[in-house]
Structure 1
Amino acid sequence: MPREAPYLEVADSLRARILAGEWAVGSRLPSRAQLADEYGVGRNVTQRAMDRLIIEGLLEGRAGSGTYVRKPRERMRMVRSRHRELRGGSPFRADMKEREQAGTWEAHSQARVPAPAPIAERLAISLGDLCVTTRYEFLSDGRPVQLSESWEPMAITDGTPIVLPEMGPLAGMGVVERMHSIGVQVETAVEVPRPARATQAQANLLGISVGDLVLEIERTYYDSDGRPVETADIVVPDVRWEVAYEFGIDGAQ
């Protein structure tokens, strides 16, 4: 078996010592020079090891002070299931209401945006076909919860009251209910979750650090004919939320 990179070995050792309680929450770790001497490696190795543990959320760096054991943040569970789409209105607002929190969001839509190649493929339309794209920042009791960028083909919604998701009589009512109002029956949602690291822009909006773990969910809604009617990229900060999927079992006794 190939040997792990030295900084990963040091990170593994420091992680084990932190979890064993050698340094309590809020305690300052020895300097990277001291740790380099202890492990017999260069300072750049201990710096990379500590950077990795900062990304994982075990440590935090304080300018001019050092590196400290970070207080674990409470993680709440976000359940994604068919139940979300059966409550009417906004699934996000209903999710937050179940937690006795106020779910709100800020949104900005732009119409007549040519579909880039990845979006065109997901929506089964031609490259450059016109879409409405909407960027969302979702909040719970005023705190950022998740980000989303949604795309809807204008071939489906153009000339209808729902062409802009956050305007008109069904503003903020969710894709399923909005599409139903123009005779499009959404039947299936497909989600593809992928782990990622927060970009600078995502970190700024979510109030987390660059490089923090996030869950990126690629979601696409399909109508009863199997036609994609909306696709979105959702970003959830891992440090605050764990995402669980609930499945109904057909024919269960």
Structure 2
Amino acid sequence: MARYEEVAADLRERIKGGEYEVGGTLPRYEDLTATYGVGRGVVSAALAVLEREGLIRPIKRRGIVVLNWSVTRRRIARGQLVTRDPRNGYVFPAASRPDEKWVPHGRPHREYAPAPERVAELLGVEPGIATLRRRRIMSPAGEPPFQLVDTWLSAEAVRDAPKIADASTGPGGYLDRLEEAGHGPISWKEYIRTRMPSREESQLLEISQEMPVLETVILGTSEKTGGVIEVTVRVIPGDRVELVSELRRDESASWPTTPVSPAP
């Protein structure tokens, strides 16, 4: 075993043994080099291994932060059914359970931000143009950030339903305001892919930048105009979730099977 692997193995054992608490920091580089009797290059290589494993993440002005490595992987049943809660409005397929409380990390906020290339393409605007974004970071109570959700709203949406730019959009949320403004019933389409996180996403989700994420994108299309008026991007760390789909038999696959007549 290379020396940097030995250092990584020892630090890994200490982290998982609770010597270094989640949310706390590892000793400084200078202390680690002295403890293990190695050079800075060996320590850097060892820490890179732990960062790839999602155990630590260097944070500017804080140090080498220990991440929550024991998070529970959640199964998401990816159905196609959109339901409605009388108080909160539409509910899309997600990882939450009916009796589970979810909490925000930081304050949900909205601002005009440059539209990323993918969002701009879906909204039909120029990349980088200032677009209303509503952002929230959520997780089950007591767990690290589970998902980063950005909802991007077109200029047309804000013009027709200016309430969606307020801090509180009222009962039913921004979708109710859009439908009340004449865009209902809104229809949706979902795209799912895996990718690597941006630096900002890794910081907000408290993960290594080398940890893949699951991205789901929901497009809301106006019944009035036929155009996309909102794009919601949900980003979830790849080690926190797995997708589950129930497979159904087509009539052609019914049981018992129909005997095949021999060829003449």
Shorter-chain TM-score tier = 0.5 to 0.7
Residue of structure 1 in register with 2:165 after alignment? 164
Q: Using the alignment, how far apart are the partners of 2:207 and 2:37 within structure 1?
A: 26
Q: Does 1:153 align with 2:154?
A: yes
Q: Does 1:55 align with 2:46?
A: no
Q: Does 1:213 align with 2:243?
A: no
Structure ranking higher in strand proportion: 1
Contact 2:82 2:92 in 1 (8 A): no
Deviation string for 1:180-229 (max 9, x for gaps)? 444333333222322325736743x43x3543625151513142686322
Q: Which amino acid aligns with 2:245?
A: E
- The 3 A distance-change label for structure 1 pair 132 and 250 is farther
Q: Does 1:121 align with 2:112?
A: no
Q: Which amino acid aligns with 1:123?
A: L
- The 3 A distance-change label for structure 1 pair 49 and 109 is same
Give the count of matched residue pairs. Answer: 224
- The 3 A distance-change label for structure 1 pair 251 and 162 is farther
Shift of residue 145, structure 1, vs aligned partner: 2.3
Q: Using the alignment, how far apart are the partners of 1:95 and 1:130 within structure 2?
A: 31
Shift of residue 92, structure 1, vs aligned partner: 7.2
Shift of residue 78, structure 1, vs aligned partner: 4.5
Residue of structure 2 in register with 1:3 after alignment? none
Q: Using the alignment, how far apart are the partners of 1:212 and 1:117 within structure 2?
A: 21
The alignment partner of 2:49 has SS state of helix
Q: Which amino acid aligns with 2:164?
A: V
Shift of residue 237, structure 1, vs aligned partner: 3.0
- The 3 A distance-change label for structure 1 pair 226 and 161 is closer
Unaligned ranges ≥5, structure 1:
1-5, 62-66
Residue of structure 2 in register with 1:101 after alignment? 100
Q: Using the alignment, how far apart are the partners of 2:15 and 2:165 within structure 1?
A: 51
Q: Using the alignment, how far apart are the partners of 1:242 and 1:153 within structure 2?
A: 30
Report the TM-score, using the length of structure 1 for normalisation: 0.60
Report the TM-score, using the length of structure 2 for normalisation: 0.58
Q: Does 1:242 align with 2:233?
A: no
Unaligned ranges ≥5, structure 2:
20-31, 59-63, 255-264
Residue of structure 1 in register with 2:260 after alignment? none
Q: Using the alignment, how far apart are the partners of 1:250 and 1:51 within structure 2?
A: 47
Residue of structure 2 in register with 1:132 after alignment? 132
Q: CA RMSD in A?
A: 4.8
Q: Using the alignment, how far apart are the partners of 1:190 and 1:94 within structure 2?
A: 12
How does 1:22-41 map onto structure 2 within 5 Å?
A: 25-26=16-17
Contact 2:56 2:208 in 1 (8 A): no
The alignment partner of 2:188 has SS state of strand
The alignment partner of 2:76 has SS state of strand
Q: Which amino acid aligns with 2:196?
A: A
The alignment partner of 2:96 has SS state of helix
Shift of residue 82, structure 1, vs aligned partner: 3.7
Shift of residue 169, structure 1, vs aligned partner: 3.1
- The 3 A distance-change label for structure 1 pair 119 and 94 is closer
Shift of residue 124, structure 1, vs aligned partner: 1.8
